[in-house]
Amino acid sequence: MKDAGVQVSVALPISNILKVMMFSRIDLRNHRKITVIDGKIGYSGSRNCADPEFLVKPKFAPWVDIMLRVEGPIIAQNQMLFASDWLSENPYTPLESFAYYTQPTIKPHTEPQGSYAIKNEVDNDSNIVLNNDEKVHNGFAAQVFSDGPTQRHGTTPQFLGALISQAQRSLIISTPYFVPDYSLVSILCATAYRGVDVTMIFPQNNDSIVVAATSHSYYWQLLEAGVKIYEYKPGLLHAKTLTVDGEIGLIGSTNLDLRSFDLNYENNIVFSDRALTADIVERQHQYIADSDEVTREQVENWPLPYRIWNNIVATMGPVL
């Protein structure tokens, strides 16, 4: 890529391992997946730049991912996030390299019917005039949610907890790695106890034995609360999705594990739009259709040594 003229940089390089071990950690990782094209089009989601067969781990293939294509002012948020990553490793890069070409946000006037219109307003930055009869139908509220070990501790589980707590009817989550903290497990159970239809989708065959065992250690607690658990069969379900009441959705790179909460740099998009959320829910139901449901009877019948193994491994959660 360098020979072709691509600017390439290594995130969180370990040039001096002793210095890193003394003053930082060697297990920090930039897990973000950001693509910005001309400052106008962006892609966010769970997909890495890897072949679906992921030949380093072929027996778990294919990796099943989900990506979201977005346009509009939210692209500036992703571009600034990328700039922060790039500048942390290349501090002398001219800021002009990150000029933003995204369309500015124009505050709409809400008509009584609920549609949006701009009444002959002029945007001074772009000199765009929008006439009285020009409606905006394809926009909705969305925000990039990013986190990392340099941010306030606990940001992600607190944000997810607040989002999950909004559910009144349904909550559907897919994640490949489920190593949550206690607060998140409690919120999931509490949400199910108050009558919300809570569904969790995990891969049936996980590429990490210890993560799978830790996830299984929470199954009984979740099932007892009324959470439905499905295990996806055709491959490794790597998609990280969350939908609330068919109205709010989240797609990104964050797993429901302590590594994503505390050690990884992550990026997600949270949005409020029924049409887009309906598309995500439809995809989630496709995952469910290709899954086996896990029942309380199955978990009760797990051999005692297997249950002990799961619980022992779960004690290692903070270092997984």
Q: 155, 263 in Cβ contact below 8 A?
A: no
What is the C-alpha to C-alpha distance for residues 211 and 207, in angstroms, rounded to an integer?
Answer: 8
Structure tokens at 128: 């765009």
| CA-wise closest residue to 33 among 80, 82, 77, 76 | 82
> Is residue 31 flagged as an active site residue?
yes
DSSP letter for each residue of 246-265? TTEEEEES--EEHHHHHTEE
- Three-point CA angle 18, 20, 23, nearest 5°: 105
Choosing from 85, 181, 207, 240, which is the catalytic residue?
240
Query: Token pair for residue 51?
Result: 């072949």
Question: Packing angle between helix 182-193 and helix 155-165, nearest 10 degrees?
Answer: 0
Nearest to 43 by CA among 255, 317, 268, 309: 268
Angle (nearest 5°) at CA 235 between 231 and 289: 50
Catalytic residue among 2, 3, 38, 137: 38
Catalytic hit among 31, 85, 147, 181: 31
Provide the 10 A C-beta neighbour count for residue 30. 18
CA gap 263, 248 in Å, rounded = 26
Verify whether residue 38 is a known catalytic residue.
Answer: yes
19 is annotated as an active-site residue: no
The active-site residue, picked from 85, 147, 238, 262, is: 238
Q: What is the CB neighbour count within 10 angstroms for residue 225? A: 17
The residue from 123, 245, 273, 290 that is catalytic is 245
Pairing state of beta strands 178-179 and 256-257?
A: parallel
What distance in Å separates the CA atoms of residue 140 and residue 62, rounded to the nearest whole number?
Answer: 33
- The residue length of the chain stands at 320
Q: What are phi and psi of 8, to 5 degrees?
A: -125, 140
Q: Which residues are catalytic?
A: 31, 33, 38, 238, 240, 245
